[in-house]
Structure 1
Amino acid sequence: MDAAAKIMIADPRLPQFRLQVPDTWIDGNNHMNACFYLAAVKDAAIAVHESWDYADAFRARTGETNFVLESQVVHLRELMLGDHLLVSARIAEMDDRRMRLVFEIFNETEAYLAALAQFIVVHIRFGPPPKTAAMPEDLRRSLEGVHAMHRQVAEPEGWRQLKTLDLARSMRGARA
């Protein structure tokens, strides 16, 4: 499919990133191995954190960051060697300490949603020892604005298969 003929597959209000499935991600079944779906969203996750001023510069300035508590992948359709992927990112839920980030992984070549990947992250203040903490007010307000815009985007296929924030459970793990 040439660039002029491509149909819109991801909502343009969400940040979008492109990559291609490399041969090192292909398994014996001749499709993308399940373990690489999280790798496929790594650069997108780093880029959105940078765009939110919640990455390396934030960590250096504040001594704070976020850690992943849980990850989940919902596989909808397979991906193959050389497929061009489009990854979109959104804040699905948040409170003053946690965010649920959802990444849609599209096969841009064939124009379908292949998978959803999500991370539940918690805000951390480095110690010793590192501890969960409320996000700084300016960061939280900024992220709430991003979250409000992302809530306007329709939920994709497979959305209901994703876990939502279980605040009590995720905090038990974060305080350990």
Structure 2
Amino acid sequence: MSLPLFCETVRPEWIDYNGHMSEAFYVLVFGYATDALMERTGMDAAYRKSTGCSLYTVESHIRYLRDVPEGARLAVLTRVLGAAGKRARFTHEMYVVTGPRAEPGADGDPVATTELLALHVDQEAGRATPFPDSVRECLAALTEPPPWWAGRSVAPVA
């Protein structure tokens, strides 16, 4: 079982004073990809409304690898690395795609990646709570090995 790609086009207002996509919009696109993951795993708007629970990102590590120009077509590949109790770990890889089909990797290496740790939160109680079995099982079915870059930290300044 695999996740569908999240696709987006870089908008003019996302371009910074250096002439490429501003770092805040990489985070925005990755956030939309997380929303797509939530939809796919049963944590959609109806779930959030009926349970009062949602997924909160509590840690992330972004790698900005290449500049992205205005109008670029982006495809984001999501990988679930694991889920247990109230935590989920997953990655997103952002690619610029040029062909008629959005196939990450067909046009080269990713332009950015992120690794995230998220908690399943009961918003009314204000604390993390275990995933219901249906969501946990869906996440487990999507789990795959981490890419080589996952688990790295920011390099120290020498």
Write out aligned runs for 1:105-120 (5 A): 105-109=94-98, 110-120=107-117
1:34 matched residue in structure 2? 23
Larger % of helix: which? Answer: 1
Q: Which whole-Å CA distance do the structure 2 matches of 1:75 and 1:84 have between them? A: 17
The answer on 1:146 being equivalent to 2:142 is yes
Instruction: Please state if 1:50 is matched with 2:39.
Output: yes
How many equivalent residue pairs? 146
Q: Could you tell me which runs of 5 or more consecutive residues in structure 2 were left unpaired when the two chains were aligned.
A: 99-106
Query: Identity of counterpart residues, as a percentage?
Result: 25
Stretches of structure 1 that go unaligned for 5 or more consecutive residues are: 1-11, 164-176
| CA RMSD in angstroms, aligned pairs only | 2.2
Partner of 2:50, secondary structure, is helix
Report the secondary structure of 1:32's partner residue: coil
Matches within 5 A, 1:55-66: 55-66=44-55
| 3-state secondary structure, aligned to 2:116 | strand
Structure 1's consecutive aligned runs of 4 or more residues displaced over 6 angstroms after TM superposition are none
Aligned to 2:152: 161
Deviations 1:102-157 (A, max 9, x none): 11000113533101023211011233x3111111122212211121xx33xx726x
What's 2:79 paired with?
90
Deviation at 1:50, TM superposition (A): 0.9
Deviations 1:36-70 (A, max 9, x none): 11111232221221111112111222222221212
What is the letter of the counterpart of residue 113 of structure 2? L
Name the CA distance, whole Å, in 2 between partners of 1:95 and 1:65: 15
Q: In 2, are the aligned partners of 1:74 and 1:161 still within 8 Å (CA)?
A: no
Deviation per CA, 1:6-55: give whole Å up to 9, x if none: xxxxxx94421221111111111111111111111232221221111112
- Give the corresponding residue for 2:103: none
User: How many Å separate the matches in 1 of 2:152 and 2:4?
Assistant: 22
Aligned twin of 1:123: 120
After TM superposition, the score normalised by the length of structure 1 is 0.73
Amino acid at match of 1:28: Y
Taking structure 2 as the reference length, the TM-score comes to: 0.80
* Aligned mates of 1:38, 1:118 — CA distance in 2: 11
